[in-house]
Structure 1
Amino acid sequence: HRGLDSIQGLLGKDDFPRLRLGIGRPESNRDVSGFVLGKFAEAETELLEKVLETAADQIACWVLQGIGQAMNNYNGDFSPTEKKTDDEIRRDDHSEGDGA
């Protein structure tokens, strides 16, 4: 089992929509596989609940409003509890192409 490689092999393609959760990078002196497969630190465990709640919201948005709206609402670098409001989305949509 090799994660995404296994899924791509079973589907026979690698171009499919998916929800991705980033985990960051280990400190330079830490083994990558240990970082990815190891237990969560206490602070990470507390954050995980918020991350999973946000992921569930993203999936609901994707199913109910479409992948485009889900991408607009959730893609970016922000905390797990931060979501764009409808007003912020409209401002973003209107600011594109106006040189702002």
Structure 2
Amino acid sequence: MPAEGTWDLTVSTPIGSIEAVAEFHREDGVLVGTAHGAGEDVPLSDVVLDGDRLTWRQAITRPLRLNLAFAVTIDGDTLAGSSRAGRLPASKVTGERRTLRAGTGH
């Protein structure tokens, strides 16, 4: 599955780059996910994979309370796209899928 796995994300915002981790997996045939960053673990909603385009929504409280909408395109083990918070300008998103390292289980 092109989207499943753990992704290290960088979101380039007007206040600087924010590092986050997004994890995607299937539950009962439905793609679901969780984001980790800024000391928060946030469930993802409206996760949709259409070909190589992945979209999702999430609410965060740090550094600000925002509802974010992500739209990225997956190309192998990398992704690129944008994140938008309401009327604020879109922020560039890039990411790399973590690969399993022999003997580490990660």
* TM-score interval, normalised by the smaller of the two chains: under 0.3
**Normalising by the residue count of structure 2, what TM-score does the alignment of the two structures yield?**
0.22
| Structure with greater strand share of residues | 2
Question: Which one has a bigger Cα radius of gyration?
Answer: 1
| Structure with greater helix share of residues | 1
**Normalising by the residue count of structure 1, what TM-score does the alignment of the two structures yield?**
0.22
Bigger relative contact order, structure 1 or 2, given CA contacts below 8 A and separation 6+?
2
